[in-house]
Amino acid sequence: MFKWDKLIINANVATMAEGSHNYGKIKQGAIGILGGRIEWLGTTAGIVNSLDTLAKELIDAKGCLVTPGLIDCHTHLVFAGNRSDEFEQRLNGVAYEEIARNGGGILSTVAATRKASFDELYQQSLPRFLALISEGVTTVEIKSGYGLDFENELKMLKVAKKLGEEHAIDVKTTLLAAHAIPPEFKGKADEYIELICTQIIPQMAELGIVDCVDAFCEGIGFSYAQTKRVFDAAARWGLPVKLHADQLSDLNGAALVAEYSGLSADHVEYTSLKSVKAMAQAGTVAVLLPYAFYILKETQLPPIDAFREYQIPIAVSTDCNPGTAPSSSLLTTMNKACIELSLTPEEALKGVTINAAMALGIEEEVGSIEFGKKAHLVLWNCQSPADLSYWQGMNRVQRIFN
């Protein structure tokens, strides 16, 4: 009888264990996997038995890097349609307002998503999902938010679930019905919030199809008071919350989500020191979205030094969406986190592993290489973890374990 299903030896392991330093590195490391769990972790020299009798499969990493499977904790990757025409118009000098007046912007994605059948939506979302997982992503959060009514939000969430099931990838679903005001509620935002609170959240909760509730708290989205109503409804149904907070202006969104012990405050460019302190108190993760920062040519940096000072876990995610983050590459996002937002490569890797797990409330299961956790691992064609943030346009995945 073998002790393990798989044994990886001679690996440069970046465990990314919570609270560890220098990537929680183990040189010449070994990882024993049984039943999809990490059942042994140490150095290759620490294994005394004859190696080839220990596991059904022996994998010699030959000094290459092994990290936890990457986690993309904030995506809008399920949507229909394409907005490259808007990208082109903007770069030809057409104002955003004019594009929106002509039916562009977020509501054009809503129209396309509503029109698409379940299968069309699945087929259109699939390449984005496959691109993400080809880079070693083993857990993906996917939001609704382009349906904006019960039926179409549910269609999006079912597509998200199916993507995960068909590819053996952990998908966490987030209800973002409070993303924009649907056309039929134009000028009646409070009535739409009422629908979300009294019907959409309760029905989704009863179906058990959402893990979390999110909202877009912004001048062009929903107010502090409206967001609070959504969070109260989520709380009534026992659902955790997270928030698109303080992206374009400071509406005290990060403090609000902290007040509800929220999992994460995302974007956070305009977050105040007072809100940072509230996040620290509540254990709310700061999710940085460097792609949106870059595409919008934002100049206001998130209060990263304050996050560091108050030891707030910093996560990093693609924000994969057709408007402000046309990207399904978590590796290029890590590079952008380093260059645009001045994270260190170690912070960037923490941001897509253990801290991203915390942003989803699943840090007991995934996000680091530790005894008992799921054996979601990536073996890379490089030695140093810094290589992942450093070189662009090179997918160094050698093998994914999930």
Q: Interface with ligand DI6 by CB under 6 A: which residues?
A: 106, 109, 179, 216, 244, 247, 292, 321-324
Contact between 246 and Fe ion by CB under 5 A: the answer reads no
Strands (E), 126-189: 137-143, 170-178
Subset of 132-161 contacting Fe ion (CB under 5 A): none
Nearer to ligand DI6, 7 or 215 (CB): 215
| Contact pattern from residue 1 through residue 20 relative to Fe ion, giving x for each residue in contact according to CB under 5 A and a dash for the rest | --------------------
Residue whose tokens read 């942003």:
359
Q: Count CB atoms within 10 A of the CB of residue 109.
A: 23
362 within 8 A of 172, measured Cβ to Cβ: yes
14 within 8 A of 66, measured Cβ to Cβ: yes
Residue whose tokens read 């928030």:
243
Nearer to Fe ion, 74 or 376 (CB): 74
Nearer to ligand DI6, 179 or 229 (CB): 179
Nearer to Fe ion, 153 or 319 (CB): 319
Closest among 43, 46, 48, 47 to 28, alpha carbons compared: 43
Which among ligand DI6, Fe ion, none contacts residue 376 (Cβ within 5 to 8 A by kind)? none
Q: How far is the CB of 276 from Fe ion (least distance, A)?
A: 20
Which among Fe ion, ligand DI6, none contacts residue 108 (Cβ within 5 to 8 A by kind)? none
Q: How far is the CB of 76 from Fe ion (least distance, A)?
A: 6
Nearer to Fe ion, 30 or 77 (CB): 77
Nearer to Fe ion, 16 or 359 (CB): 359
Contact between 347 and Fe ion by CB under 5 A: the answer reads no
Which among Fe ion, ligand DI6, none contacts residue 307 (Cβ within 5 to 8 A by kind)? none
Helix or strand run (H / E) with residue 122:
helix 118-134
In one letter, which amino acid is 374?
K
Nearest residue to ligand DI6 on Cβ basis: 323
Q: How far is the CB of 83 from ligand DI6 (least distance, A)?
A: 7
Q: Count CB atoms within 10 A of the CB of residue 155.
A: 22
Contact between 319 and Fe ion by CB under 5 A: the answer reads yes
Helix or strand run (H / E) with residue 158:
helix 150-167
Name the token pair of 89.
């118009």
Which among Fe ion, ligand DI6, none contacts residue 193 (Cβ within 5 to 8 A by kind)? none
Name the token pair of 183.
């056309």
Name the token pair of 254.
């990060």
Which among Fe ion, ligand DI6, none contacts residue 292 (Cβ within 5 to 8 A by kind)? ligand DI6
Name the token pair of 140.
């993906």
Contact between 218 and Fe ion by CB under 5 A: the answer reads no
In one letter, which amino acid is 120?
E
Q: Exposed, middle or buried, 340 (CB in 10 Å: 0-12/13-18/19+)?
A: middle
Q: How far is the CB of 149 from ligand DI6 (least distance, A)?
A: 17
Rounded Cα–Cα distance for residues 391 and 44 (Å)? 29
Q: How far is the CB of 164 from ligand DI6 (least distance, A)?
A: 22
- The binding site for Fe ion (CB under 5 A) comprises 319
